[in-house]
Amino acid sequence: MKTDLRTDITVEDVCNGFVYNEFEGRGLFGLGGKLVIQPEYQRNYIYANGKDDVAVVDSLLHEYPLGLLYFVRIRHDDTEIAPEEYFTDQDTATYEVLDGQQRITSFGRFKTNKFPIIGNDGVPHYYSGLADDLKKRIDEAKLTIYICEGSESEIKAWFKTINISGKPLNDQEVANAIHSGPFVTKAKEEFSNSQNSHIQKWSAYIKGDVKRQDYLKTALEWVSKGNIDAYMSQHRYDDNISELKTYFTSVIDWASSVFMDVEAEMKGLPWGEYYESYHSNSYNPADVHQKLQELYSDYYVKKRSGVYEYILGGCTDTTLLEVRIFDDVTKKTVYNRQTSEAQASGKSNCPLCAMGNDNNKTRIYKQNEMDADHVTAWSNGGATDISNCTMLCKTHNRAKGNK
């Protein structure tokens, strides 16, 4: 791999022909069209928050260095030219920003009056309204740029190495870089696009940030049954995302048809897994609604996010609800049954006392002297229902609880 350093390129040079696409949230071109600021393997522009972007402009105004920028040089013919001639008219190569697109997009947007900075006077100033000396300070700021040329795999390896400063890429952003190609481009247009009108609906089921690829990650997780890397690798050169989109839509449509309610606890549930396990069952949405409301108002249901799978599975697996307390009817029923059996056989109605050899082995406790206990421990998946309930005297219940 060939690497060259240039320290004479200015902010103004890079901003020549700068285009920012508001719709896609991407800075597109610079350096008179030779530079692709946000190639497809890059994440979206995330500095537009009035803090990170303003900090970039502040650094330029204070003449602080902006840090290293990394460009990849892409040759389109065999023309050999010296690094000093890069970016000139003789240079037929194009360039992609490998690292630095957030910084470049920030000063590019400032220079095109997309956001103001607040001056010492407390007043917002757009670029066009700055004093000439300040404009000049920004325009003439020199950048430090590493330009590299090499094979795709060399460049990707380099990308992983240099990607250590600023906001680190998350797993999905790295996966997008590694598997970059037409599939990732199309998938990002659909699932990483905050302008997509479906986001509002999807956000009821999906946790995270569209721009940080959390929606794309979820869509891939569902269709690939958790094997995102393998799926992205297999589909890397596909020119469509039909399967991904169809599967995702099926899951969301199914979830929203079974559950008419939209509750906070639905966000981030494994809807793809639920879809796989339950979508061939039929559900009556009105009954589901009623059951859901009942469980939401049930004091003993500790885990509301478990209500959805509980209902889908036919309301049998109470461990999903983290119900740890037996209700009064269950306790009374078990107490009565144990007590009548104990009286008939002349033993204690506490089964543990009945096995002992002291005076308590024939003692009949009152219900308020006993507590309900899980036969199979709740922590081992034991349900909180009558089949798993036994009444113990308070001493034995406490002793068992301490084990």
Which residue number, 98 or 372, has a Cβ lying nearer to Zn ion? Answer: 372
Structure token pair of residue 144: 């430090």
- Looking at beta carbons only, is 176 or 390 nearer to Zn ion? 390
Q: Smaller CB distance to Zn ion: residue 219 or 342?
A: 342
Does 393 bind Zn ion (CB under 5 A)? Our answer is yes
Over the range 167-204, which residues count as b (16 or more CB within 10 Å of their CB) and which as e?
A: eebbebbbbbbbbbbebbebbbebbbbeeeeeeeebeb
Stretch that binds Zn ion, among 251-259, 349-357, 371-379, 380-388 (CB under 5 A): 349-357
Q: Shortest approach of Zn ion to residue 374 CB, angstroms?
A: 16
Binding piece for Zn ion, criterion CB under 5 A, among 143-151, 181-189, 369-377, 388-396: 388-396
Between CA 390 and CA 338 the distance in angstroms is 8
CB of 355 to Zn ion, least distance (A): 9
192 versus 390: smaller Cβ distance to Zn ion: 390
- Other CB atoms closer than 10 Å to residue 393's CB: what's the count? 20
CB of residue 343 to Zn ion, shortest distance in Å = 16
**Closest CB 334 distance from Zn ion, rounded Å:** 15
Q: Would you say 280 or 359 has its CB closer to Zn ion?
A: 359
Stretches 9-17, 123-131, 308-316, 346-354: which one binds Zn ion (CB under 5 A)? 346-354
Going residue by residue from 167 to 206, which x/- string records binding to Zn ion, judged by CB under 5 A? Answer: ----------------------------------------
β 26-30/19-21 pair status: antiparallel
Among 141, 251, 353, 372, binds Zn ion (CB under 5 A): 353
CA dihedral 23, 106, 175, 213 (to 10 degrees): -50
Q: Total residues contacting Zn ion (rule CB under 5 A)?
A: 5
Q: Are 145 and 87 in contact (CB under 8 A)?
A: no
Total residue length of the chain: 403
Q: Which of 43, 103, 217, 396 binds Zn ion (CB under 5 A)?
A: 396
Rule CB under 5 A: say whether 370 interacts with Zn ion.
Answer: no
Per CB under 5 A, does 235 bind Zn ion? no
Distance of alpha carbon 382 from alpha carbon 310, whole angstroms: 15
Binding-site member from 352, 372, 389, 391 for Zn ion (CB under 5 A): 352
User: Within 13 Å of residue 67, how many CA atoms lie on the same side as its CB?
Assistant: 15
- Residue 393 CB, nearest distance to Zn ion (Å)? 3
The pair of structure tokens assigned to 338 is 């144990």
- The helix or strand, by DSSP H or E, that contains position 10, with its residue range, turns out to be none
Q: Compute the C-alpha angle 18/158/44, nearest 5°.
A: 40
Q: Which listed residue (15, 69, 169, 350) binds Zn ion by CB under 5 A?
A: 350
C-beta of 274 vs 326, nearer to Zn ion:
326
Contact status, residue 357 vs residue 329, Cβ threshold 8 Å: no
Residue 254 burial by Cβ neighbours in a 10 Å radius (0-12, 13-18, 19+):
middle
Residues that bind Zn ion (CB under 5 A): 350, 352-353, 393, 396
